[in-house]
């Protein structure tokens, strides 16, 4: 049976997503990951230095990249342990970005879903567990929907005029991974 163009596009993007690898950031990824940061966050400066210093903050910070079949990095996620190395970890999703040319294809969703178990595994090596996940985003950013969908996070506060606009503070309590 002939496939319609829409079905074909859906199959192609599903196959591409399936073959997308979410793996820990390595120092060789710095230049290209910085480019994703620069393209995704137009108001933020010094992309190279930002990614570099967060990478150096391991294990407080853990960064994972989305790598396609051509070994191109098209997105990244940055997790951060808050307020010291605790047994019950408050984990912040500090930053998530997908290159603008690749947004809306499920890569952001995959970055969250596939990296969180890897963070959990690393924490388990020191017998720690994730208690809650926190994340903030601009109140008008559709990323809010993404965090609801993937983390079951809810808005607990709205902070007016924080970075460039009002920011929502979201928490996923007692998260099951």
Ligand X SMILES: CC(C)(COP(=O)(O)OP(=O)(O)OC[C@H]1O[C@@H](n2cnc3c(N)ncnc32)[C@H](O)[C@@H]1OP(=O)(O)O)[C@@H](O)C(=O)NCCC(=O)NCCS
Stretch that binds ligand X, among 17-25, 53-61, 93-101, 114-122 (CB under 6 A): 93-101
Q: According to the binding rule CB under 6 A, does residue 13 interact with ligand X? A: no
40-42-43 Cα angle (round to 5): 130
Q: According to the binding rule CB under 6 A, does residue 151 interact with ligand X? A: no
- Binding track over 37-56 against ligand X, x by CB under 6 A: ---xx---------------
β-strand pairing of 129-138 with 88-98 = parallel
Q: How far is the CB of 125 from ligand X (least distance, A)?
A: 27
- Of residues 80, 91, 98, 119, which one binds ligand X by CB under 6 A? 98
- CA–CA dist 23, 27 (Å, integer): 13
Asked whether 144 and 156 are in contact (CB, 8 A), the reply is no
Task: Report the candidate in 70, 59, 155, 149 with the shortest Cα–Cα distance to residue 113.
Answer: 149
Asked whether 76 and 97 are in contact (CB, 8 A), the reply is yes
Q: How far is the CB of 72 from ligand X (least distance, A)?
A: 15
Stretch that binds ligand X, among 12-20, 27-35, 50-58, 96-104 (CB under 6 A): 96-104
- What six digits make up the tokens of 111? 């970055």
Tell me which residues touch ligand X (CB under 6 A). Answer: 40-41, 95-98, 103-109, 137, 141-143, 145-146, 149
């Amino acid at each position: 049976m002939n496939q319609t163009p829409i079905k074909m596009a859906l199959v192609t993007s599903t196959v591409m997503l399936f073959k997308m690898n979410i793996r820990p950031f390595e120092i060789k990824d710095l230049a290209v990951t910085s480019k994703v940061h620069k393209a995704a966050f137009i108001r933020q400066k010094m992309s190279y230095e930002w990614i570099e210093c967060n990478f150096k903050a391991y294990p407080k910070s853990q960064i994972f990249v989305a790598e396609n079949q051509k070994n191109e990095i098209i997105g990244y996620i940055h997790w951060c342990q808050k307020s010291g190395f605790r047994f019950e970890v408050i984990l912040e999703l500090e930053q998530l970005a997908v290159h603008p040319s690749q947004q809306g294809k499920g890569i952001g969703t995959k970055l969250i879903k596939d990296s969180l178990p890897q963070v959990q595994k690393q924490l388990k090596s020191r017998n720690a567990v994730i208690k809650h996940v926190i994340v903030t985003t601009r109140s008008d950013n559709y990323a809010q929907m993404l965090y609801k969908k993937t983390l079951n996070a809810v808005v607990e506060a709205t902070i007016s005029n924080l970075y460039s606009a009002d920011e929502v503070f979201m928490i996923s309590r007692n998260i099951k991974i």
